[in-house]
Amino acid sequence: MSFRNARYAVEEAIRSIAKNQLMTAASVITLAACLFIVSVTYCLAANIDYMLTQMESAMSITVYVSQECAPEQVESLRKKIESVPHVTGVTYVSSEEALDKFREDLGDQSHILSGLDNDNPLPRSFVLELDSIDYWDYAVSELSLLRDYGIDEVKHGKDAVNALVTVNNVLRAICLVIIAGLAIISIVIIFNTIRIAVNTRKTEINIMKYIGATDSFIRQPFIIEGMILGLLGAILPTSLIYAIYSPAISLIQSSVPLMDIDFRARSYVLAALLPLLMIMGVAMGVLGSIASIRRHLNV
């Protein structure tokens, strides 16, 4: 495409967009709504994956020691736990240490535990670390065989991680269905927008064909119009995510106790989201244009 042809195509595309403002606005808004849902889905998925990574790296198995277990039995139990395959670390937590940790977690409300110093109900425990989360179930099953040696209960957080994975998968499936529906609606509206432009320029197009204009030359303005609509539809949700992402994360962190779990930085999210939305927006815009030209323009 020569510079002159490119300039002509861009000017015609902009002129058509300005002329059909209502349909242009409908196309951009619908496409922006679709891409905004894509953006929200990506933000949720990226942060859930990040949370899962943090939870997996921080996950540990807690083995609670029976109250009847004597000190020498506790030491014997420790050695048996250390001998379990894939257990890389064993930390003993006394009842006093558990109470101090409980006080620390309560913060300003720790005064409610003031009467427990001489009557501490918290059990002794061992905190286990594994070399890989893949051996989690195996380690739990091996520990269950040691109950007769003083183990009262074995607790772990894998169920919470599995629940989070399930929620993540269901959320993605629902959003994919919604995105597919909105994408079809966006393409149809862009299709109709380009069709209006084609119908208003039929006489001009016929003259251009009569004097020898090529099919590609006639198509170019409509393709570029679709690209512009797609880019505009991508810019809106990107700007919105940029504006609301950090305040939304701050609100969640201040409202919901999420322990020490962090969220993805806005720069990380936008670095992946911006090119994704641009590509999707342009692709849907071009697809709508091509479909409109192919059906309503005999070139």
Question: What pLDDT is stored for residue 182 in this prediction?
Answer: 74
Domains in the chain with CATH codes: 3-56+161-296 (no CATH), 60-156 (3.30.70.3040)
Question: What pLDDT is stored for residue 204 in this prediction?
Answer: 66
Are 90 and 128 in contact, with CB atoms under 8 Å apart? Answer: yes
Distance CA(273)–CA(40), nearest Å, equals: 10
Are 59 and 129 in contact, with CB atoms under 8 Å apart? Answer: no
Distance CA(93)–CA(155), nearest Å, equals: 14
Strand order in the sheet with 87-93: 87-93, 125-130, 61-65, 151-156
* pLDDT, block means (10 residues), the chain with 299 residues: 72 79 81 85 83 70 84 87 87 82 68 64 84 78 84 76 72 77 76 70 69 73 85 91 91 69 87 89 82 61
Question: What pLDDT is stored for residue 247 in this prediction?
Answer: 92
Going from the C-alpha of 45 to that of each of 40, 51, 103, 243, the distances in angstroms are: 9, 10, 34, 19
**Residue linked to tokens 């016929």:** 206
Backbone angles phi, psi at 156, to 5 degrees: -150, 165
**Percentages helix, strand, coil for the chain, rounded to the nearest 5?**
75, 10, 15
The reply to whether the predicted model has a pTM over 0.75 is no
